[in-house]
Amino acid sequence: MKAHDLRDLSLAELEARLKDEIEALQKMRFNLAVAGQVENPARFKMHRREVARLHTIISEKNITEEKPA
């Protein structure tokens, strides 16, 4: 999902997506450790970038809520 689409979501929805992405990344890492290979190694990069994107947007929302407008 693109950053501008994520900015439209609420803080609770963003945190839920972040939790899902982290779990997916952990499952992939576990499968790599157990099986020694993964189906698509490029998905590691995709999940890491999505986690970083979500962290950034959550931080932005927290900063804008703290500042008086």
Is the torsion defined by CA of 25, 29, 30, 32 positive or negative?
positive
What are the domain boundaries of the chain? 3-64
How is domain 3-64 classified at the CATH fold level?
Helix Hairpins (1.10.287)
Angle between helices 11-35 and 42-66 (to 10 degrees): 150
Extract the runs of DSSP E, i.e. beta strands, from the chain: none
pLDDT digits (tens, 9 = 90+) for 22-42: 999 999 999 999 998 888 999
Cβ atoms of residues 54 and 2 within 8 Å: no
Lowest mean pLDDT among 9-13, 43-47, 64-68: 64-68
Query: In the prediction, which pLDDT does 69 show?
Result: 58
Q: What is the pTM of this model?
A: 0.85
